[in-house]
Amino acid sequence: MATANIEVSETPLVLYALRRADDALILGHRLSEWCGHAPAMEEDMALANMGLDLLGQARELYTYAAKVEGRGNDEDKFAYLRDVRQYRNLLLVEQPNGDFARTMVRQFFYAAFADLYWRAMMASSDATFAAIAAKSEKESAYHLRHSSEWIVRLGDGTAESHRRTQDAIDDLWAYTGEMFAVDDGERGLIDAGIAIDPAALKSRWLKTVTGIVNEATLALPKSDWMQQGGRVGSHSEHLGHLLSELQSLQRTFPGATW
Amino acid sequence: MYTQALNSSDGDDRGVEDVARASQFQARIDADERIEPNDWMPAAYRKTLTRQISQHAHSEIVGMLPEGNWITRAPSLRRKAALLAKVQDECGHGLYLYAAAETLGTSREELVDGMLSGKAKYSSIFNYPTLTWADIGTIGWLVDGAAIMNQIPLCRCSYGPYARAMIRVCKEESFHQRQGFEIMVTLCRGTAEQKAMAQNALDRWWWPVLMMFGPPDQVSQHSDTSTKWKIKRFSNDELRQKFIDATVPQAEFLGLTIPDPGTKQNENGNWVHSPIDWDEFKQVLAGNGPCNRDRLAARRKAHDEGAWVREAAMAYAEKRKSRQLAQAAE
């Protein structure tokens, strides 16, 4: 018998921490899938490095969510004992790795946001968030630099790398809007100075992204239709497969300590 | 990208075995001096080290695969982070070992091609599958444990770049070994199913790990000259014995049984073992281990599928260079 899913009291603050933790865990997991299979050994190192940064961010955020929630959950229960409908990450981060261009575009879109986001969150009135932000900001600055350099190399490299990177941009673009969305619960946290308003980051994000994409001789899609749903548990089909792998031991051997 | 310039380096000392220089060289070795890349060395010394260091590098890189197999399924976030960091360390070891090998005049690209074509060898241990989470504990405990036994003497190897690389590698390996043992402790203190998982992993890995030290001394090909050159300081059998003596009490501590009824202590306190099935070792070396094909296929796939990325990086670097030149000319 598989262990039942945990119940989570999703107060606005718990939910807020869980959403960012899930972003970091799922993207970190995706990056870790590359380990041993990257296009060059240097990239095996870099992708694992970024995966570790994100995994570290996820653990801190889950631990904080557990503390705020105060009902005995912990980082592993959040990660291993919630089903796909309980996960709150952005649709962007759960998208499959695809080829290296797709992984880099996904990383670039996210890191360009995360870099601004964590820098702004350093001013959070919540001391834990401010501390997590101070550490994460340094990490996301590197993630942005690394992925930006690759977007330029791939876009302005060969005809093949250009085509692959443009395809990835076209396919992933619709998942970027969700990063800037805010619901009522988050609005309250923004008003209280705990969270920052992501909408305020959008023009700077677009400027960074446009600058790099132009330098890479690539183009952003004209369409402004954006997919949403990850924040309320309406995911793509990909997440369930990721979770079945991630959670397999905990689900197969209920209650065991590892 | 892979320092192609080195491909054309054609050491002027190759093939020219100057007797006086050779005896001078041996005198330096005997005096425990370190040989550095620009020093004169016999062609055979260069060849032996290139083969050994690159095999070691290939082993680190191929070794990422059996453990990488569990990164996405690690049973807790702490274990997941530790395993990902460990596999990343192995890649790092591979990189600086290739760098050490390159100081002997063969490029990383050429060395890697040797591995991908199946010509160059890597440690046979990585041709066994990781079936359960306990295999990750067992690899850390036994495979890294055996690697440390092999590598600690290499920190005093006569070739400077290799010896220095080994110092760093050994530090990280002993950390990995403790991590692996800690996974085993947790499993052995866990549920009956977990304990059985740990025992089963030990049953499958024990003999292959003993084979890691190489053929018995009476049939080992390279030992004599390697010993003379202080590349190798202990024989295969000596290292194997040291390993068994250290490991049997650890298995007892875990409450696990060594899968060899012949394991018993002799009058000197050494643990003796039953004869090793060297036919199995030969088969794995010949490419017939359970995972030889999978491992090479995975490395070739990564290499082939990464080709367009590496080409793009080269093309971009070229474009950038010519743009800079054009700018400078304006």
Average confidence (pLDDT) per 10 residues, chain B, 330 residues: 36 62 95 96 96 97 97 98 97 96 97 96 97 98 96 95 95 94 98 98 98 89 82 94 97 98 95 97 96 98 97 97 90
Count how many pairs of residues, chain A against chain B, have C-beta atoms within 8 Å: 137
Closest-approach residue (CA) in chain A for B310? A39
pLDDT value for B14: 47
pLDDT value for B221: 63
Q: Please state the pTM of the whole predicted model.
A: 0.94
Cβ proximity of A41 and A88 under 8 Å: no
Say how far apart CA B254 and CA B194 lie, in whole Å: 12
A162-175 per-position pLDDT tens digit: 999 999 999 999 99
Q: Do B191 and A39 touch (CB under 8 A)?
A: no
Nearest CA-CA distance, residue B295 and chain A, Å: 11
pLDDT value for B285: 94
Q: Is A257 at the interface with chain B, CB within 8 A? A: yes
Q: Is A59 at the interface with chain B, CB within 8 A? A: yes
Provide φ and ψ at B271, rounded to 5°: -90, 125
Say how far apart CA B317 and CA B330 lie, in whole Å: 20
Closest-approach residue (CA) in chain A for B188? A258
Of B71, B190, B319, the CB nearest to A156: B319
The token duo for A77 is 């229960």
Digit-by-digit pLDDT tens for chain A (258 residues) are 456 899 999 999 999 999 999 999 999 999 999 999 999 999 999 999 999 999 999 999 999 999 999 999 999 999 999 999 999 999 999 999 999 999 999 999 999 999 999 999 999 999 999 999 999 999 999 999 999 999 999 999 999 999 999 999 999 999 999 999 999 999 999 999 999 999 999 999 999 999 999 999 999 999 989 999 999 999 999 999 999 999 999 999 999 999
Say how far apart CA A73 and CA A65 lie, in whole Å: 9
Say how far apart CA B50 and CA B17 lie, in whole Å: 18
Cβ proximity of A157 and A218 under 8 Å: no
pLDDT value for B214: 94
Burial of A15 (0-12, 13-18, 19+ CB in 10 A): buried
- Token pair 């490991």 is found at B247
pLDDT value for B223: 66
